[in-house]
């Protein structure tokens, strides 16, 4: 069964008959109309089920993948290894997306291509090798963040204790110069 043909037939006619599985797929709208006596949909179901007693009738609902939001993308990127670089890339893609007709679709397509397993905790290949482990990636990101924080603390400790902005330092120098002039 070709899914594209099935979906097109359901949109056009409200039903699709698959000969190979002896299944009649109906849309939710078709099902609702067929519940009312005297409608064309009701008569079609009566006629088809009378002719074929082994027929299976299935209501076909399209599965819509819930789209991810900008906020969800940002949170995910910030909790993955190399978060800083990847977040910078995300910001560039998001800024560049405004040149396209559908900016959100552009960004979400990029995100889904870069992180194809973002909605799964663990993904393995046919041999059982781990291709994606969200928990391990999160732990790696935490270690990177802690290392970055430790290096920034070390840099802060290497600076002089008093870190006075230049404008304040100049005012202090002027104040001492005034005091010396007044004292002499």
Is 30 in the same domain as 110? Answer: no
Does residue 165 form part of some domain?
Answer: no
Is 50 in the same domain as 92? Answer: no
Paired with 23 in beta bridges are 18, 56
Does residue 75 form part of some domain?
Answer: yes
Q: How far is CA 15 from the centre of its chain?
A: 33
Per-residue pLDDT tens digits for 4-45: 887 788 788 888 888 888 888 888 888 899 888 999 888 988
Tally of domains in the chain: 2
How is residue 179 written in tokens?
A: 């005091």
DSSP state of 115: -
Per-residue pLDDT tens digits for 92-130: 999 999 999 999 999 989 998 988 877 777 677 778 776
Least confident of 35-39, 106-110, 152-156, 178-182: 178-182
Does residue 180 form part of some domain?
Answer: no
Is 82 in the same domain as 55? Answer: no
Contact 68, 111 (CB under 8 A): yes
Residue 137, pLDDT score = 74
Average of per-residue pLDDT across 50-58: 88
Is 123 in the same domain as 48? Answer: no
Q: Which residue has the tokens 């900008």?
A: 70
Per-residue pLDDT tens digits for 58-81: 888 776 666 788 988 888 888 777
Residue 166, pLDDT score = 47
Residue 133, pLDDT score = 72
Residue 11, pLDDT score = 80
How is residue 64 written in tokens?
A: 């819509």
Does residue 167 form part of some domain?
Answer: no
Distance separating alpha carbons of residues 29 and 180, to the nearest angstrom: 92
Is 52 in the same domain as 95? Answer: no
| Domain range enclosing 23 | 3-59
Q: Is the pLDDT of residue 182 over 70?
A: no
Q: Is the pLDDT of residue 164 over 50?
A: no
Is 47 in the same domain as 84? Answer: no
Is 80 in the same domain as 130? Answer: yes
Give the confidence band of 174 by pLDDT, cuts at 50, 70, 90. low
Distance separating alpha carbons of residues 53 and 56, to the nearest angstrom: 9
Is 128 in the same domain as 81? Answer: yes
Q: Is the pLDDT of residue 162 over 50?
A: no
Distance separating alpha carbons of residues 34 and 180, to the nearest angstrom: 100
DSSP 49-91: HHH-TT-EEEE--PPPPPPPPHHHHHHHHHTSTTHHHHHHHHH
Query: What is the helix (H) or strand (E) element at residue 133, kind and residue range?
Result: strand 130-133
Contact 34, 1 (CB under 8 A): no
């Amino acid at each position: 069964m070709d899914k594209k043909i099935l979906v097109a037939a359901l949109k056009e006619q409200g039903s699709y008959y698959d000969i190979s599985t002896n299944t009649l797929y109906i849309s939710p709208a078709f099902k609702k109309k067929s519940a009312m006596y005297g409608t064309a949909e009701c008569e079609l179901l009566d006629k088809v089920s009378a002719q074929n007693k082994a027929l299976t009738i299935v209501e076909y609902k399209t599965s819509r993948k819930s789209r991810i939001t900008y906020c969800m993308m940002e949170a995910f990127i910030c909790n993955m290894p190399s978060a800083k670089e990847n977040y910078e890339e995300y910001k560039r893609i998001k800024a560049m997306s405004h040149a396209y007709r559908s900016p959100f679709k552009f960004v979400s397509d990029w995100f889904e291509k870069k992180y194809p397993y973002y909605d799964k905790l663990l993904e393995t290949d046919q041999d059982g090798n781990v291709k994606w482990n969200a928990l391990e990636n999160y732990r790696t990101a935490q270690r990177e963040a802690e290392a970055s924080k430790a290096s920034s603390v070390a840099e802060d400790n290497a600076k002089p204790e008093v870190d006075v902005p230049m404008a304040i330092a100049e005012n202090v120098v002027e104040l001492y110069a005034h005091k010396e002039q007044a004292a002499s």
